[in-house]
Amino acid sequence: MSDETTLTLFQQQELNRRRTTWLLAGFLVFFAWLGFGGDYIYALSTAHAPPAAQHHVWWFGIAMLAIGGALASYAYKTGAEKVLWATGAVEVVDATDDRQKQLVNVVEEMAIAAGVPRPRIWIIPDPDPNAFATGTDPQHAHVAVTQGLLDLCGRDELQAVIAHELGHVKNLDVRLMTTLAALVGAIVLMRDGASRIFFSGGRSNGGGGRGRGKGDLGPLVLVLLVVWIVSWILAPIITQLLAMAVSRKREYLADAMGAQFTRNPLALASALQKIDSADVPATHIKGGAAHMCIADPLGRRLSGHEGLLADVLATHPPMAKRITILKGMGYAQIKREGGIVS
């Protein structure tokens, strides 16, 4: 387990604030490289062209930096709404049946136990049992559960799952994870748009000045161009891997906080067992939000194992290990209470 589990709540919150700041800063630096790097490559490739055809104004870098800043700000401010929209979540305003009423009651109880304002409540029409929290802080938090989770879990198990999600809210995991989810989507969108522009533009370029671009600068332009293109290709993958790595480190802590809020670690262990055993494909939660869920909605095979492959590709730590830890906490609690009674 990560050493981060030994930090206090305020240290956890401050760590997540710093991580979010560095994430946004790194996002801007990446966009600056894409823009000014492209300008530099274009300037080198036209260095031997007539002055009128040379690249002097680095407009692409300025544009990309502006776009990156706008996307980072937009992702931070509206990431939660975009994640909920992408999953097809429907807000519970007035509970219409017993399941929804139970959900509202459980969220209210756990918000009091966690010491946070009651988050807005959403239901995702997905048969795969799952849940996630999103938002920028406890005052602007959302908790979403799938219909499959409501149908599968009893009250104590549902309470434990909600407590786990409110653990993410309380220590500001939601800010970091929501920003990551939004930035993954933004990078994918920018990459796809740039690919269309570059590939369509490449076909229209004539041969004039092409020979003049060859010479001493040819190999350098080629190397930089390859690195630049690879940056576009790998950016969404690297961001997604970063989201997975951050998610894995936070799940153990949220499990512990959920057990603390409910005083019932065995209920969360039971809920995770049911979720892990469910063999229902996810229909609404896609890759961009997978790292935010209590369990991997895209397949439990990798998160069911330990090792290098799981560490790199799995969105969650091994479910069996999480369940074992929670059961150990529960049995220790029973032993303590039994000792007090006797």
Sheet of strand 120-124: strand arrangement: 90-91, 120-124, 141-146, 131-135
- Residue 235, classified by CB atoms within 10 Å of its CB into exposed (0-12), middle (13-18) or buried (19+), is buried
- Residue 100 CA to residue 147 CA, distance in Å, equals 10
Q: Are 128 and 146 in contact (CB under 8 A)?
A: yes
C-alpha torsion 18→180→315→133, nearest 10: 90
Catalytic residues: 165
Whole-Å CA distances, 26 to 34, 50, 87, 95, 250: 12, 37, 27, 42, 21
Q: Which residue has the tokens 């469910």?
A: 278
